[in-house]
Amino acid sequence: MCQLLGLNCATPTDAVFSFTGFRRRGGATDTHADGWGVAFFEGRGVRLFIDPDAAARSPMADFLQRYPIRSRNVIAHVRKATTGAVALENTHPFMRELWGRYWVFAHNGDLHGHQPKLHRHFRPVGDTDSERAFCWLLQELDKSHASLPPVPELTATLRELIPHISRHGTFNFLLSCGDAMWAHCSTHLHYRVRDYPFSRATLADEDWTIDFSTVTQPGDRVAVIVTTPLTRDEVWIPFAPGELRVFVDGAPMTDTGT
């Protein structure tokens, strides 16, 4: 299985602290050494970095650990390959355009027998079950809405679509178009909201403690979504199996349901 990391923020925020711990799971503190990637939304653009090598020893990951890209939505992934070869085209996150916006998706789990019919505009480049599921989701969203709808409408449509995929196996995923972040749990997913009054946190996979009160400003708020809690000394809220949550401006919306 793979692992997921997402940040949804009220103001542009760098992911250096979270990414430093998370990348260690890509071949150092865990076995997810078959590629990694991270996407940073900046306005309507996306900086996408993917690498089929292990994150724990990747020079590109070294660069990103030192380079504080500020974003309101970040999706990262470390891969343990099950379906699809270890190759650049099979490395998450995946990105596609819909309604003139970039969409980014990363998946943790295995899907068996999910072979939907895909139209010309939404076709996978690689051979993973994950990219195929992403293409189908976008295809069906495109059928359901003529243009980008409000977040609650998108959430309602996603809630109708997800069971068609999740019945085929494990479907933990993160999805964003830059306005919000959707997180769905089949098995394991946790989140933590960091806001005022900010406190200290210590990474679980790296010897690093940070006092967030010294590096934040009024109005900052960050929701961190991750497969397994990133820190040893913070309270993380587990998702329920089958739960879909949407995060906007660094907090979960309260009307998402399960």
Kindly state the greatest CA–CA separation across the chain.
Answer: 52
pTM metric for this prediction: 0.96
Q: 11: which 2 tokens?
A: 């103001």
Q: How does DSSP assign 152-203, residue by residue? A: HHHHHHHHHHHHHHHTTB--EEEEE-SS-EEEE-SS--EEEEE-SSP-EEEB
> Could you give the CA distance from residue 200 to residue 209 in angstroms, rounded to a whole number?
7
Q: Cα dist. 166→142, 160, 162 in Å?
A: 20, 11, 6
In the Cβ-directed half-sphere of 148, how many Cα atoms lie within 13 Å?
A: 13
How would you write the pLDDT of the chain (258 residues) with one tens digit per residue? 789 999 999 999 999 999 999 999 999 999 898 899 999 999 999 999 999 999 999 999 999 988 899 999 999 999 988 887 889 999 999 999 999 999 999 999 999 989 999 988 899 999 999 999 999 999 999 999 999 999 999 999 999 999 999 999 999 999 999 999 999 999 999 999 999 889 999 999 999 999 999 999 889 999 999 999 999 999 999 999 999 999 999 999 975 444
What domains lie within the chain, and their CATH numbers? Answer: 3-252 (3.60.20.10)
Active site members: 2
